[in-house]
């Protein structure tokens, strides 16, 4: 059970697998006014940077669930490195349908809302683990500019224009689901560059180390085409943010 190998090749050196910088992640923690002992659940926790740094900086405790064996191992190592292995637990597995045994104060899914079949389904899933008046965190792309054609949307790696909303519509959709938006931290182009451009050096080094691997052709092709695709499309059209929600 694992995610497609291309992601563990291109993002093996990432600590944060989305367009947030370490500063944005810390800003989000501060914005949420986290206190020592706050219990956080993170579905699709990646390499665990959010839980580990928040455990270190704010004294939270956390559970992360992720389908990637590599990322889950990296999360555990990061917890040990930051001295918070007693406060955070990383479970390797499918987070679809995952419900925490004990209710949490903050339930998050950043950049993996397919886990609940979209934003609405993921909010519903997270709500099952959440204490009364707890906070749900959703990390999700939105259109900075709506693509003029479906081709442009696909070049942004969206399935179609309808996959994402412009920011005001995305915010309005939370209202429609019965939630107050109580905080948000938005990524910027610098963060997108850190997320996307970091893959290029990783790919280049991986190709050097694995010239005969079955994935080498695909990785070579991505390394050649990705920088222009990213600069022309994702960087221009796509925003990303984390939205903090409380049920009304
Ligand atoms: N939230 C993390 C990772 C975002 S990338 C961060 O911001 O750094 C998306 C993550 O979802 C990847 O780590 C991937 O392994 C994980 N993932 C994909 N499908 C999943 C599933 N069904 N269950 C749990 N994790 C999943």
Cα of 113 from ligand 1 centre, angstroms:
9
Q: List pLDDT tens digits, range 230-240.
A: 999 999 999 99
Burial class of residue 202 (count of CB atoms within 10 Å of its CB; 0-12, 13-18, 19+) = middle
- Residue 177 exposure: Cα atoms within 13 Å on the Cβ side: 21
Residues 6+ apart with CB under 8 A from 201: 13
3-state secondary structure of 120: helix
Q: Is the CB of 95 under 6 A from ligand 1?
A: yes
**pTM exceeds 0.85, yes or no:** yes
96 lines ligand 1 (CB under 6 A): yes
Q: Is the CB of 167 under 6 A from ligand 1?
A: no
19-75 pLDDT per residue, tens: 999 999 999 999 999 999 999 999 999 999 999 999 999 999 999 999 999 999 999
Question: Coil, helix or strand for 90?
Answer: strand
Report the alpha-carbon distance of residue 72 to residue 49 in Å, rounded: 11
Nearest atom in ligand 1 to 94's CA: 23
Rounded distance, CA 242 to CA 13, Å? Answer: 22
Choose which residue among 44, 63, 72 to substitute to test ligand 1 binding: the one with the highest number of ligand atoms within 8 A of its C-beta. Answer: 44
């Amino acid at each position: 059970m694992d995610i497609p190998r291309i992601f563990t090749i291109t993002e093996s050196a990432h600590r944060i697998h989305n367009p947030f910088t370490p500063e944005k992640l810390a800003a989000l923690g501060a914005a949420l006014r986290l206190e020592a002992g706050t219990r956080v659940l993170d579905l699709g926790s990646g390499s665990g940077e959010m839980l580990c740094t928040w455990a270190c900086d704010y004294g939270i405790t956390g559970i992360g669930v992720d389908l990637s064996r590599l990322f889950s191992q990296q999360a555990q190592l990061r917890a040990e490195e930051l001295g918070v292995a007693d406060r955070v637990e990383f479970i390797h597995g499918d987070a679809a349908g995952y419900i925490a045994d004990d209710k949490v104060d903050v339930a998050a899914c950043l950049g993996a809302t397919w886990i609940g079949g979209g934003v609405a389904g993921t909010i519903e899933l997270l709500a099952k683990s959440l204490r009364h008046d707890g906070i749900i965190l959703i990390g999700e792309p939105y259109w900075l500019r709506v693509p003029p054609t479906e081709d442009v949307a696909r070049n942004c790696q969206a399935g179609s224009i309808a996959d994402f909303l412009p920011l005001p519509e995305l915010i309005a959709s939370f209202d429609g689901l019965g939630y107050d938006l109580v905080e948000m931290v938005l990524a910027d182009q610098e963060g997108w560059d850190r997320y996307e451009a970091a893959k290029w050096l990783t790919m280049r080094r991986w190709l050097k180390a694995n010239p005969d691997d079955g994935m080498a052709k695909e990785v070579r092709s991505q390394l050649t085409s990705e920088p222009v695709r990213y600069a022309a499309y994702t960087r221009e059209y796509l925003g990303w943010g984390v939205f903090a929600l409380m049920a009304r």
